[in-house]
Structure 1
Amino acid sequence: MRKLMCFTGFACVSMLFIIAVSSWFFIHDLDVSSPNDVPIQSINLMDPQRNERSFRILLVGDTGGIPILETTWAQRGVKEMMTIVAEEKDIQMVLNMGDNIYFTGPTDEFDPRFESRFESVYDSPSLQVPWLTIAGNHDHFGNVTAEVEYTKRSRKWYFPSLYYKKTEEFNGTKIDFIMIDTISLCGNTKDIQNAGFIEMLRNESHDPRGPVNITAAEEQWSWLESNLEQSDAQYLIVSGHYPIHSISSHGPTECLRQRLDPLLKRFNVNAYFSGHDHSLQHFIFEGNSGHKINYVVSGAASRADASTKHIKEFSKDNLRFNYPEKSWISWSPVSQLGFRKGGFIYAEFRHDAALLDFFDKNGKQLYATVIPIRQIPSDTATKSTISPFIEI
């Protein structure tokens, strides 16, 4: 008990020290904006026919705030820019890529952090749309089932099951959003669950070593393959917390490279969206018969990591963009505690292609790309879209 109290005191003092040091860095190393960083202006162009021509979303990840401070400086800046873009573009949905409550996930569906880390943060009228949510590794440190249950208590939090399908249509064009739980498929980054903050800190960190429940993982793999095979959507989007490809601190997820990526290629998935690494990244890899698959990381909603630890694993042909740019120091408490950089992605699905705009917390457009409409495999186009598994 004496050792635990000592460790607890040490951890608390360490956290306060890090915050104090980070605050000093923040004051002396502010992210000074250039003239090109002027935030975009909301002009509130509400086109009554817009919904017939496109479907518009924001893509965010790792929104879960931080202990003591609740929300980060970067997160508040990102939220303000999300609000402006959401109002101007009249968005219809947000994809939320996991790590929703740092550092240990909720205790139950009544956990006050749902309010302090989500509801009271993303409270702008333009953000009151469905937030399609999945779990991250930090959510699984706590009671991840509570996040599913919280769907019943929130007007915008949408997390009906650990994995699910959501279909949207606009004037004959269909989008299938396949939301998966990569922690159940691949395992967590620490061998701990439903534990407190101190226990989480003491536990060894490692790459995912495999699912805890192999039977449940195989059921999800079967569900995923069935839904991909049966989809006749012009856009087929798979979203999970762990990235398949990443140049940043965590890097690629080998489990997903081995089992998920072949499915994406087999069924001509348009894109795989993820979070986990606190950055914005875009990769393009060849699929089947000339089809190209886009891999997008959006995990910078509350903090940003400039690490390029795994960049040598990728060619310039595959890696198209990454943010933040590499700094003189690969790890900084200023960045990790969310005092400086952050970002998100706006995606607009049209009848012929999807347009993706990458923004930082100042509203500066960092990068843009186009995702062509899907080439539906011939053996898939004739199949029924009715799935024997869960579909929301």
Structure 2
Amino acid sequence: MEGKAIVFPGISMGVLVSFGALTLCLVLSSASAVLQRFHHPPKPDASLSFFVIGDWGRKGAYNQSQVALQMGVIGEQLDIDFVISTGDNFYESGLTGIDDPAFNESFTKIYTASSLQKQWYSVLGNHDYRGNAEAQLSPALTNLDKRWLCLRSFIVNAEVAEFFFVDTTPFVDKYFLKPKGHVYDWSGILPRQQYISNLLKDVDLALKQSNAKWKIVVAHHTIRSAGVHGNTDELVKQLLPILEANKIDLYINGHDHCLQHISSLDSGIQFLTSGGGSKAWRGVVDWWNPEEMKLYYDGQGFMSVHITETEINVVFYDVFGQVLHKWNSSKQLHSYW
């Protein structure tokens, strides 16, 4: 299916570039950084199915290959449209460059099932920033594997839902103040505060202008989590108020190596962690309000999401493909009378 350009009211358009089923729109704004928008067509019945996986790139180790196997099987059953990666795509320190064999060994050679030969939308995690972050963003990797698309922050309009991918690593103070011997690739980020300010403005504006029935934000770092990393204070203070004000439906992240569902009592946002793509942290969980904590699983696995105009269904799976948890929500159709 060929892509088509989407015109967003109130935003001036720059270059339009087609990538098969995708259309990339570079959105130019004098007040903020460049945001990139893609159009991903839903199925003919206007539904959408996709996987979410995070914290995976270990050349098949720590059950990465087993998770990939189950993704392939269930992906065939669900007829998924794409895959979302929540970051930490390559351990321990990202890629060394565009010719790093880890890209093939941890991605292309692992996710080989026919059902997974779909577009992958990926964000950077903190481990990715420890390597050559620019390499993961390079079109050269897409030339190596056409599924690969990794950007800092971008938007995917899938008609029935709109996805807002946010680069959260630059928000975290300790990576700058106490890097613990790690070297981070901050090229394209500095000056940091200007980058963060522009990004927050872009996200707020995009959410305000969105007419999507379902608004989904994807990032690497947690906002609400009972895992070892817990809440990311910088995001709670700076990003969460924007998400609450714009009434998003889902905040999807990785970072904590677990599967998790926290249902906020304050705003109605569902906080979903899918960070079980390979190495998991057994037995690491802090107490959480049981009214909000719907799932905490300290093992490997992944998540599926199915969306229609009126309903959204989320399912978490373990490394054996067994269902751990289900959640659904519904909305009424728009009234035109």
1:283 offset after TM fit, Å? 0.7
> What's 2:84 paired with?
95
* Distance in 1, Cα, partners of 2:114 & 2:273: 26
The question of whether the paired residues in 2 share the 8 Å contact of 1:55 and 1:350 is answered with yes
TM-score between the two structures when normalised by the length of structure 1? 0.68
Cα distance per residue 1:297-355 (max 9 Å; x no partner): 000011222344432xx31111111102xxxxxxxxxxxxxxxx410011101121110
Structure 1 residue 59 corresponds to structure 2 residue 52: yes
> What's 1:316 paired with?
290
Structure 1 residue 111 corresponds to structure 2 residue 100: yes
Which residue of 117, 120, 124 corresponds with 2:109?
Answer: 120
1:134 offset after TM fit, Å? 0.1
TM-score between the two structures when normalised by the length of structure 2? 0.79
Which residue of 321, 328, 334 corresponds with 1:370?
Answer: 328
Which residue of 44, 68, 89 corresponds with 1:79?
Answer: 68
CA RMSD of aligned residues (A): 2.5
- 1:40-59 equivalences under 5 Å are 51-59=44-52
CA gap 1:354/1:152 in 2 versus in 1, 3 angstroms: same
> What's 1:224 paired with?
203
Which residue of 311, 314, 322 corresponds with 1:353?
Answer: 311
Q: What residue identity is the alignment partner of 1:157?
A: W
- 1:226-245 equivalences under 5 Å are 226-245=205-224
The question of whether the paired residues in 1 share the 8 Å contact of 2:309 and 2:333 is answered with no
> What's 1:293 paired with?
269
The question of whether the paired residues in 1 share the 8 Å contact of 2:310 and 2:333 is answered with no
Q: What residue identity is the alignment partner of 2:127?
A: H
Q: Which has the higher contact order (CA 8 A, sep 6+)?
A: 1
Give 3-state SS (helix, strand or coil) of 2:71's partner: helix
1:191 offset after TM fit, Å? 5.9
CA gap 1:238/1:75 in 2 versus in 1, 3 angstroms: same
- 1:1-392 equivalences under 5 Å are 51-65=44-58, 70-149=59-138, 150-159=141-150, 161-169=151-159, 174-187=160-173, 189=175, 202-203=181-182, 213-287=192-266, 292-311=268-287, 314-324=288-298, 341-373=299-331
> What's 1:328 paired with?
none
The question of whether the paired residues in 2 share the 8 Å contact of 1:244 and 1:261 is answered with yes
Give 3-state SS (helix, strand or coil) of 1:222's partner: helix
CA gap 1:153/1:217 in 2 versus in 1, 3 angstroms: farther
* Distance in 1, Cα, partners of 2:333 & 2:263: 16
Cα distance per residue 1:97-154 (max 9 Å; x no partner): 0000101111112211110111111111110111110000000001111101033542
* Distance in 1, Cα, partners of 2:333 & 2:232: 26
1:91 offset after TM fit, Å? 0.3
CA gap 1:286/1:151 in 2 versus in 1, 3 angstroms: farther
5+ residue gaps, structure 2: 1-41, 184-189
* Distance in 2, Cα, partners of 1:183 & 1:86: 30
> What's 1:10 paired with?
none
Q: What residue identity is the alignment partner of 1:180?
A: V
- The structure that has the greater radius of gyration is 1
